[in-house]
Structure 1
Amino acid sequence: MNPTPGTDSTPALRIIPRDQHIISRANISKAALRVLYRLHDAGYAAYLVGGAVRDLLLGLRPKDFDVATDATPDEVKKLFRNCRLIGRRFRLAHVVFGPEIIEVATFRGTGEEGGEGDRHIIDGRIVRDNIWGTIEEDALRRDFRVNALYYDISDFSVRDYVGGMQDLHDRVLRLIGDPEVRYHEDPVRMLRAARLAGKLDMRIDAAAAAPFESLGPLLADAAPARLFDESLKMFLAGNGLKSFRMLEQCGLLKFLFPATARALKRGDAALRSLVEQGLANTDARIREGKSVTPAFLFAVLLWGEVRDEARLGIERGLDGPEAWSRAAAKVVGEQCQRVAIPRRFTFTMEEIWSLQPRFEQVQRKRVFRLMAHPRFRAAFDFLLLRADESPAMRELGQWWAHAQRLPQDVLAAALPVLSGAAAAEAAPAPAVRKPPRPRRRRRKRSDSPAPE
């Protein structure tokens, strides 16, 4: 039986000595080691904790290194001149070494009172928690058992209070304590379960997954800015496709990206291909050390709903640019109530979407004007993802890929100035079938970039 935070349950300590685990100081950040050793030398307990220990034990390379100690935030600050104290919900010390930040947390307690701190709970949700305690209590306060492992700098052993080592061996994610209580304390733990399961190729324990459907609506109460950060961790850490599939499998996608869930539920195979290929491409770029932008990712996730809304607007008689502008505003507005996507990203998303109809216009001036657009490359990459929509869309992507390889004068000479049948006869040499001439519509002004 799992111990429940806030009860008198006492964890059973298991100490794994250095010769029985694979963690080496050579794989720990030098900055983290400096923090650990300085705390230890000053007489404080000092442990590497959480995801870093978990990943090191799995043979992975952690991105962040967190430290747990019995020193209070003020005591940590006295030891490090390069330290700043942050947070109201959880008081933390950040020790800064150039671009690297080592997060140092004081052991959390399970009692209602303690030291200089305080705890504030509203409707079961912890909104402030600064009660200091022992390492045993701290272990019980953590979310998953695999995240409650401590690497002791004093003897290089791993301390396991809740069975995390067994869970790593079994490749399973189990919550510490009662799942209903823990998700009420922090609903984002549900998303974290899906993300970690995808990242680590683990299954979620049945008891931990059981409340997802009934408690998923609690995610609406989480801060949209926090859900944006969680989305980046989920989709921009190299495991985006696995995380997405796990979100769907767990039934959590509709609580985080409702528009995406609705569009996929309509059974559009081409849309699913676009979303999954977009996520797979993003994962590949991250593995290759290439840059990625959240804007492209969110444009992929929300495309189905935006496209369908724009088509509906056009069917109702709206001008094309106006239909795309209204569709983007509606979908982005709804999504930002859940996930606070910054305006600098939503603007780029809207440009990528609004440029899609312009790829169908292959007259000379329009081709060169589109190629000169600052978002052309992102919009073209997006066009390629749409290949499964139809054979014509695949051919259109091939045409634009070929056009970009031609010298400008050769391309200009091959492009038609006319439209319709005469333009089709003047097509470039490697001509694929041209898209049909768009119906002429009266242009209207729009706040966002729009098709011509």
Structure 2
Amino acid sequence: MTQTSHTLIPTPRSIAREDHPISRKSISPGALRVLYRLREAGHGAFLVGGAVRDLLIGLAPKDFDIATDATPEEVKALFRNSRLIGRRFRLAHVVFGREIVEVATFRSNADDGSGDRETHEGGRLLRDNVYGSIEEDAIRRDFTANALYYAIEDFSVRDYVGGFEDVQNRVLKLIGDPEQRYREDPVRMLRAVRLAAKLDFSIAPETATPIPRLAPLLHEAAPARLFEECLKLFLSGHGEASFLGLEQQGLLAVMFPESAAAMANNRSGALRRVVLAGLRNTDARVAADEPVSPAFLFALLLWPAYCHALMGLQASGTHAAEAQRRAADRVTLHQLTTIALPRRFSVPMQEIWLLQTRFPMRQRKRVVRTLSHPRFRAAFDFLVLRDAASGSHAEDVTFWRDAQDDPDHALAVQQSQDASEDTEAAPRRRRRRRRA
């Protein structure tokens, strides 16, 4: 066992082909071409990271990443269909039609004085382009499950940090000192939650314990990067599990502070039920390969904050329509300090909220205008979720579902129901008795 800057690592272990389930048939043709070409040129070439992990547990990887001792410039010289990208982390992309194979050079944790490794005074990693050996590359990766290397030369899996056993035990474990690794990159806390949700892994106690205390470090991350992480958390088919993981680890209150506070103060739990019902619906759509708009996702996640702000404005005497607009603007503006929600998503998000107040209105002109609104379908789906969580919008759901097919018939049915209710509610006239 050898000592490193991050942790004590076990002696490298090689898992032979007959002892693991990975087959070349499961690896994309593009990735195989890169592996063989690098090998033929005399370089070490390994499939690495999430692809190896997923193949070991029977999942189909979406991406295939490769690690090599070749520099980015050497990779570019071997592949005409490649381009170099990145400043903080320089690597090569080899393009095969729609497939992009990412090729990274082995990194080292050491600072060689070249200026290619730079850290923030708080420990956050700003630049990391110091190259090293495969052993050094393994220990600088985030989780042990992501530090496994599939060797094309003999089809074995190389394990330098005990990741093979962790994958078999379905546990997510950070390499090195957890606090130091989170300070290097606070987004690793979100990655821990996301991977645990996606893989149905548990998070090792020593990896999970520092997260609630270090969660405020996420404020140092770029808001644009947190937006991308949100899409990965909630639009990959495991949104509900990711939400529960964020709650459990104390990260939800940092990512969505106003929504988290609103749900905590909502005694009935209706606001939280709406969010969970929506995330379950989103997961089902992703599983069915149906699209989900980020605007709808954020309308769902920020709905508790919007409801809380709206109630506060109405309680202060603000007119209903004005309160709705101000609440939507206020919640959006506050959230932008944490997550950079692009305007192309924030505007339709607000429209989904504001359309909710139109659904109880049955006047013909209003019905026609609402049906023609470009955000009607998304707003109606949102209404259905609200009804699923509370059961108090069934009449609205029925009317607007019928109105989409035949507005005139839906209005006629509504008018008939209203007339019937008026008749039943009218008091019976008493007959006057004639005096003798």
TM-score using structure 2 length: 0.92
Task: Report if the CA contact (8 A) 1:68-1:105 is conserved.
Answer: yes
Task: Report if the CA contact (8 A) 1:4-1:177 is conserved.
Answer: no
Partner of 1:248: 247
Q: How do residues 157-236 of structure 1 correspond to structure 2 at under 5 angstroms?
A: 157-236=156-235
C-alpha change, 1:9 and 1:167, in structure 2 (3 Å) is closer
Partner of 1:448: none
Q: How do residues 73-222 of structure 1 correspond to structure 2 at under 5 angstroms?
A: 73-113=72-112, 118-122=116-120, 123-222=122-221
SS in 1 for 2:261: helix
Q: How do residues 24-35 of structure 1 correspond to structure 2 at under 5 angstroms?
A: 24-35=23-34
Counterpart of 1:425 (choices 403, 419, 431) is 419
Q: Equivalents in 2 of 1:226, 1:4: separation in Å?
A: 33
Q: Equivalents in 2 of 1:345, 1:71: separation in Å?
A: 41
Task: Report if the CA contact (8 A) 2:277-2:388 is conserved.
Answer: no
Structure 2 unaligned runs (5+)? 422-436
Q: How do residues 396-415 of structure 1 correspond to structure 2 at under 5 angstroms?
A: 396-405=396-405, 407-414=406-413
Q: Deviations over 1:229-287 (max 9, x none)?
A: 11111111111111111111111111111122112211342212111111111111111
Q: Which amino acid aligns with 1:210?
A: T
Q: Which amino acid aligns with 1:425?
A: A
Partner of 2:38: 39
SS in 1 for 2:149: strand
Q: Deviations over 1:181-230 (max 9, x none)?
A: 10110111111111111111111111111111211110000011111111
Task: Report if the CA contact (8 A) 1:4-1:140 is conserved.
Answer: no
Question: More displaced, 294-303 or 248-257?
Answer: 248-257
Report the RMSD for the aligned CA atoms in angstroms: 2.0
Q: Which amino acid aligns with 1:331?
A: V
Q: Which amino acid aligns with 2:395?
A: E
SS in 2 for 1:379: helix
Partner of 1:264: 263
Q: Equivalents in 1 of 2:380, 2:149: separation in Å?
A: 48
How many residue pairs end up in the alignment?
A: 419
User: Where does structure 1 differ by over 6 angstroms across 4 or more consecutive aligned residues?
Assistant: none
Offset at residue 157 of structure 1 (A)? 0.7
Q: Which amino acid aligns with 2:262?
A: A
C-alpha change, 1:4 and 1:351, in structure 2 (3 Å) is farther
Q: Equivalents in 1 of 2:372, 2:91: separation in Å?
A: 47
Q: Equivalents in 2 of 1:188, 1:58: separation in Å?
A: 25
Q: How do residues 364-375 of structure 1 correspond to structure 2 at under 5 angstroms?
A: 364-375=364-375
Q: Equivalents in 1 of 2:289, 2:391: separation in Å?
A: 33
Q: Which amino acid aligns with 1:119?
A: R
Which has the greater radius of gyration?
Answer: 2
Q: How do residues 210-359 of structure 1 correspond to structure 2 at under 5 angstroms?
A: 210-266=209-265, 267-359=267-359
Q: Equivalents in 1 of 2:97, 2:346: separation in Å?
A: 31
Task: Report if the CA contact (8 A) 1:363-1:415 is conserved.
Answer: no
Structure 1 unaligned runs (5+)? 417-421, 428-452
Q: Equivalents in 1 of 2:7, 2:374: separation in Å?
A: 61
Task: Report if the CA contact (8 A) 2:48-2:149 is conserved.
Answer: yes
Q: Percent identity?
A: 57
Offset at residue 317 of structure 1 (A)? 2.4
Partner of 1:442: none
C-alpha change, 1:109 and 1:390, in structure 2 (3 Å) is closer
Task: Report if the CA contact (8 A) 2:89-2:128 is conserved.
Answer: yes
Q: Deviations over 1:49-98 (max 9, x none)?
A: 00110000000011111110001011111111121111111111111222
Q: Equivalents in 2 of 1:391, 1:162: separation in Å?
A: 51
Partner of 2:434: none
C-alpha change, 1:210 and 1:100, in structure 2 (3 Å) is same
Offset at residue 308 of structure 1 (A)? 1.9
Q: Equivalents in 2 of 1:7, 1:397: separation in Å?
A: 56
Task: Report if the CA contact (8 A) 2:6-2:139 is conserved.
Answer: no
Task: Report if the CA contact (8 A) 1:386-1:394 is conserved.
Answer: no
SS in 1 for 2:83: strand
Q: Equivalents in 2 of 1:192, 1:30: separation in Å?
A: 28
